[in-house]
Amino acid sequence: MGKKAQTRREIKEQQEKERKEIIRSIEVSKNPWANFWKRFDFWIYTACLAALICFPFLRKDALVYGDQAVIHTSYGDIEINLYKSDAPKTVANFVGLSDQGFYNHLLWHRVIKGFMIQGGDPNGDGTGGETIYGDYFEDEINPKSLGLADDQIKDLEDQGYTYNYSLNSHKMEVGSVAMANSGPNTNGSQFFIVTEKDQNYLNGQHTVFGKVTKGLDIAKKISEVPTDENDKPIDPVYIDSIEIK
């Protein structure tokens, strides 16, 4: 083959290659999905899809953001600080139920002057309750951080209490917000607020998950209303709603 013929062949091959490249680029431009993975919005879509797939498997207590709550009552507002690092599962339950409107229009069904006010029971008599977990959940208590002696801890453990020594628990002081229960690891939706005097004899038996920062006078006022033989207010006192901040 002559030199000129070879040159013509090379030029023809180059032109054919360029023609095919042009056709391919045109086809790609007509297909928006061809190089979609190279685009920024592809990764946005991928991240959102991954979040949707994973959401049902996330621990509910990992979704807690607010660390303050306002309990709106028929007597006024009670503001509390939530111990979400010290009682994460308990706070998650309280926040979750509050966000669902579970506590709206429930009674303060048990009030004792000089002691506490208790609410969170949809039955209104201390027999009911719900959780975001579907069943009762465990206590979150570290008896060592409460200053309990070894013999006290052993006595409580003999009664069925189990403890988490990695937590930083809080004593049952005036203003404490704690879970009501019917024994070890029977936490639901009911909670109480200590209105007067530190209740040290309850340390190690109830999960304290918050502290009143404002409105303790409201809680005391509720605790002083006339009650029947079951400590239930004669004239109903309500939790209007609970706002998480």
Q: Quick one: pLDDT at residue 46?
A: 67
d(Cα 170, Cα 180) in Å, to the nearest integer? 15
Q: Is 216 a known active-site residue?
A: no
Task: Name which of 42-46, 81-85, 176-180 the model is least confident about.
Answer: 42-46
Q: Which of 94, 102, 192, 209 is catalytic?
A: 192
Residue-wise pLDDT tens digits, 28-48: 555 555 555 555 555 566 666
Q: Are residues 138 and 114 in the same domain?
A: yes
Q: Which of 94, 107, 110, 167 is catalytic?
A: 110
Domain that holds residue 48: 3-57
Q: Quick one: pLDDT at residue 4?
A: 60
- Residue 93 maps to which CATH number? 2.40.100.10
pTM above 0.85, yes or no: no
Q: Are residues 184 and 88 in the same domain?
A: yes
* Spatial CA neighbour of 149 closest among 157, 140, 159, 138: 157
- The structure tokens listed for 230 are 């079951």
**Residue bearing the bigger pLDDT, 28 or 187:** 187
Give the residue-averaged pLDDT of 17-26. Answer: 64
The alpha-helical segments, DSSP class H, found in the chain are 3-30, 40-54, 88-99, 150-158, 216-223
Q: Is 105 a known active-site residue?
A: no
d(Cα 32, Cα 72) in Å, to the nearest integer? 54
- If one counts the domains in the chain, the total is 2
Rg of the chain (C-alpha set): 31
Specify whether the CB–CB gap between 242 and 223 falls below 8 A: no
Among the candidates 28, 57, 86, a domain finishes at 57
Give the residue-averaged pLDDT of 89-111. Answer: 97
Residue 178 in this model has a pLDDT that exceeds 80:
yes
In this structure, are strands 208-214 and 76-82 parallel, antiparallel, or unpaired?
A: antiparallel
- The structure tokens listed for 218 are 């409201």
Give the number of other CB atoms < 10 A from CB of residue 43.
11
Q: Is 202 a known active-site residue?
A: yes
- The structure tokens listed for 32 are 């928006």
Q: Which of 68, 72, 81, 115 is catalytic?
A: 115
Q: Which of 102, 107, 203, 206 is catalytic?
A: 206
Q: Is 205 a known active-site residue?
A: no
Q: Is 192 a known active-site residue?
A: yes
| Residue 189 CB-half CA count within 13 A | 32
pLDDT level of residue 61 (50, 70, 90 thresholds): very low
Q: Are residues 107 and 218 in the same domain?
A: yes
Give the residue-averaged pLDDT of 148-162. Answer: 97
Residue-wise pLDDT tens digits, 8-17: 666 667 766 7
Residue type, 241: S
